[in-house]
Amino acid sequence: MQFINNRQLKEYGIGALQPALLRRSIIIALVVGTLLNVINQGEVFFSLEVDIVKVVLTYLVPFCVSTISGSLAYVACSNKLNNIHTAKINKP
């Protein structure tokens, strides 16, 4: 098991705040959250007895999953590019 140090945590935070990633996460949350709400609570919307906490969480979960996975991919790609760049500089 690997623990995250402060530098890695900062990198993940920077990755999560990228405008393109946030835009994509919002779109995914809207699409997936809407589908899940219709599937899980469709009949409730027509009776107007909506549990707002469930609705918000149904949108929040796909947003968080998308943002976290995007941040992890951003950091992994950044590290790969840094390694390639470092290898080219150190090449004799």
Q: Binning pLDDT at 50, 70 and 90, where does residue 84 land?
A: low
Residue 33 has pLDDT above 90, yes or no: yes
Q: Is 58 exposed, middle or buried (0-12, 13-18, 19+ CB in 10 A)?
A: buried
Domain residue spans of the chain: 24-90
CA–chain centroid gap for 5, Å, is: 20
Q: Binning pLDDT at 50, 70 and 90, where does residue 91 land?
A: low
Positive or negative CA dihedral for 64, 65, 68, 71?
A: negative
Give me the pLDDT at residue 18, please: 82
